[in-house]
A = this chain, B = another copy of it.
Amino acid sequence: MKAVESEFNKILNRVLEEVKPTEEEEKQVMEVVEDVISILKQELTQKAGVEEISLEGSFAKGTWIRGKEEADIFAQFNPRVDRETMASLTIKAGKTAVEKLGGFARLRYAEHPYVEGIVKNIQLNIVPCYRLDKGWKTAVDRTPHHTKFVKSNLTKEQRDQVRLLKALLQASNLYGAEIRVGGFSGYVTELMIVKYKTLENLLKHATTWKPPVVMEITSTNVDRVQIIRKFPNSPLIIPDPVDENRNAASAVTLQKLSEFILLAKLFIEEPSSRFFHRSEGHHPVVGSRNILGVFFEIRESKPPDILWGELLHSLNGVTKALEVAGFKVWRYDAWSDEKTVFMLFELEELELPGFYLHKGPEVFRETALGFVHKHVKDERTIAGPWVSGNRIYVLKKRTLTKVDEVLKQALQRSSVSLSHGLKRYVTEGAVIIAGYSNVISFADEHGLRSFVEGFLCGRPSYIDALKHMP
């Protein structure tokens, strides 16, 4: 420890006061957890195959942050127990425990079922898994090993560094491995602090990163080329110290890794507590913004990761369809409460010119004559065919020029690549709204003004704050 506290650490210590739970808060959670574990032990350990009831996750690791009072309790089964038995035993016991403590329980599914309960404002996830050291049978079988690894590799001070990192990522919308975010999971933040010891050191290193970034946690003698070959298409590769065949950071998108690099550069350049707070109140430049909105309802309930996977795919599909028609799509984003969806696109123009240039084959291709004959007498040919360089061109008339008409026709013709799970909601039910003021009116009617304004500003929180600084 340095004798004189650095400016950087002064800022972090102030922030830590906001994000680190107090001993009192910790005690409150711990009491509930102990009660749950005690009931689960009574309910389960007599049963054949239940080997341990354990506390896992960020609470176990001492890396959770205030406002996220949540504990994961795992029932670890002998691998010979079949899945159905394991699930039904845990569900029954979990419900019993939550209800005995006066809470409310419901069944949830990630890869397999678990019980989510709220007891005294604390969220409890009661999850069954197999007790295994390798040859995992379910995705959560690794969790107890993750907990163990992090606990034995992070000092008390480093746990606080994890908390600061999590708070920083949350404020910047980079936290969370869910598809909607595509960011950094809690485990990845812990591994990064295991590797770099402090937030400052991590950020300093991040300013020099260039994707793909390879981060080996336990060894330093890494064959970068081989690891990249093993995890192709991963912008961030952190081999899981608990299972080297898995990239612990596989959820992180190039987008989010790049944002983290830029955030690190801005932070290191001028450390400030502002990076830990979301900028509020967007003041977008409006005027003749060329905005297209697509709104639809989803008449079924889907797990969020499924829905957001479909949404991102469909956003891309609409963008591609607009581009094929001749529009330039500059930006897009989607909002959803998992019942309705609002997609926004900003385009260069909402109406295309009446004519377009159609590029034909090179004169020496077999198709050259066919192209000339096809177009020379066509009613929609405005000029040409002519030769430029070695290629034939023709100027053609457009039938539809307005973006909403173009999109409606493309949807009717099924020429928009939509994910199967959303297709009928979009094709049959989408409201298509072109133009800035129409989109604003629609957003106001549906309480979506804030999403639209954030979109129009088009700045992540860590950049938006810069704009409003003196």
Chain A residues in the interface with B (C-beta under 8 A)? 209-211, 235, 254-255, 257-259, 261-262, 265-266, 269, 284-285, 287-290, 328, 330-331, 346, 348-349, 353-357, 362-364, 368-369, 372-373, 376-377, 381-393, 395, 456-460, 463, 466-467
Contact = CB atoms under 8 A, between A and B. Distances in A.
Contacts of A331: 383, 386, 388, 393, 395
B364 A210 contact: yes
A222 B275 CA distance: 71
A387 B258 contact: yes
A59 B382 CA distance: 43
A360 to B, nearest CB: 10
A209 B362 CA distance: 12
Given A369-B266, A372-B262, A386 B466 contact: no
Given A262-B392, A363-B262, A467-B376, A383 B459 contact: yes
- The 4 A-B residue pairs whose C-beta atoms are closest, nearest first, are A383-B458, A210-B364, A258-B390, A262-B363
A254 B269 CA distance: 54
Contacts of A388: 255, 331
Among the interface residues A262, A368, A376, A467, which one has the most CB atoms of the partner chain B within 10 A? A262
A285 B353 contact: no
Given A288-B354, A369-B269, A387 B209 contact: no
A209 B261 CA distance: 53
A460 B355 CA distance: 20
Contacts of A346: 383, 395
B357 A262 contact: no
A400 to B, nearest CB: 16
B463 A372 contact: yes
B463 A259 contact: no
Nearest to A467: B376
A74 to B, nearest CB: 37
A395 B459 CA distance: 11
A460 B369 contact: no
6 contacts: A259-B387, A262-B392, A265-B369, A269-B369, A287-B382, A348-B355
Nearest to A209: B364
Contacts of A261: 363-364
A361 to B, nearest CB: 10
A372 B254 contact: no
A376 B466 contact: yes
A457 B269 CA distance: 59
Contacts of A258: 362-364, 387, 389-391
A258 B349 CA distance: 36
A211 B354 contact: no
B389 A255 contact: yes
A201 to B, nearest CB: 18
A23 B457 CA distance: 83
Contact of A289 (B269, B356, B368, B382): B382
B390 A254 contact: yes
Nearest to A369: B265
Contacts of A355: 288-290, 348
A32 B271 CA distance: 94
Contact of A466 (B259, B353, B372): B372
Contacts of A349: 353
A344 to B, nearest CB: 12
B364 A357 contact: no
Nearest to A455: B383
A377 B458 contact: no
A368 to B, nearest CB: 6
A372 to B, nearest CB: 6
Nearest to A394: B458
Contact of A262 (B265, B368, B457): B368
A235 B328 CA distance: 36
Interface centre among A257, A387, A456 (most CB of B within 10 A): A387
Nearest to A390: B258
A371 to B, nearest CB: 10
Contacts of A384: 458-459, 463
A390 B289 contact: no
Given A269-B369, A463-B376, A467-B376, A211 B387 contact: no
